[in-house]
Amino acid sequence: MRVAVTGAAGRIGRRLMPGLAEAGHDVRGIDVVRPHEPWADRVVVADLATDDAALTDVLTGVEAVVHLAAIAGESDFGAALDSHVGLTHRVLEGARRLNVGRIVYASSNHAVGFTPRESMVPIGTRVRPDTFYGFGKAAAEALCSLYHDRHGLSIACLRIGSFRQRPSTRRELSTWLSVGDAIRLVDACVTSSDLGFAVVYGISNNARAWWDLAPGRAIGYHPVDDAERWAAEIEATPPSEVDEHDGRHVGGAFARRGV
């Protein structure tokens, strides 16, 4: 498929651009900086928040857009609204206008971060953001739902866990998302024959996972990597206060009252 990636030079975008191309897709991207990668000529360098012409250029003729562009961490309320809700609205509106029928939105586990940790957290748990970052992601998920219901766009919201080369903490033994599985997840969303509207936890096939992967498997996501490979090394160090905070809520240490 012809796929556009916003935030193409970011931490996930840099992996996703070549990964989707290797999976057979025709990929183009947009970012405020040009990546130092062999595929840099596939990236439009522009500010997605203000450049209407660049947004139109990158979305014209594509069949799906993977929306990654956003502030990748906590900010103040206004910045969260602009980065997560405002920017997502621009992408959704551009997709609607240019007949791009499929959106893959990079949400976050922090949209439900204040949910107490359980043995298996269902995808239907109520929205409980742990930060303005999580609030922005939750609000953008709601906006995606509106565009699905009102305009018929097929949309997947990915509540991404801990995207790392490898896990490094006890929490990440449950929440890790490998590079390979991130590519598999987005590829499944792009190619699913019956996407509709889906909210999916973005984690690997971790033996200790406590987020329900059934919605992802329903659209063809079959992760293969497992954080358990590093369990003995990680657990060789005694648990710390950070580990204790990490284990209380879905959002880990982000979910601290009064912080």
Q: What amino acid positions are annotated as catalytic residues?
A: 133
CA–CA separation, 130 and 37 (whole Å): 35
Q: Enumerate residues 6+ apart whose C-beta is below 8 A from 57.
A: 44
Q: What are phi and psi of 106, to 5 degrees?
A: -80, 90
Rg (CA), the chain: 18
Please state the separation of Cα 85 from the chain's center in Å. Answer: 14
Q: Give the pair of three-digit tokens for residue 224.
A: 């293969």
Full 3-state SS string of 53-69: HHHHHHHCCCCEEEECC
CA–CA separation, 182 and 12 (whole Å): 8
Torsion of the alpha carbons at 51, 54, 55 and 60, rounded to the nearest 10: 160
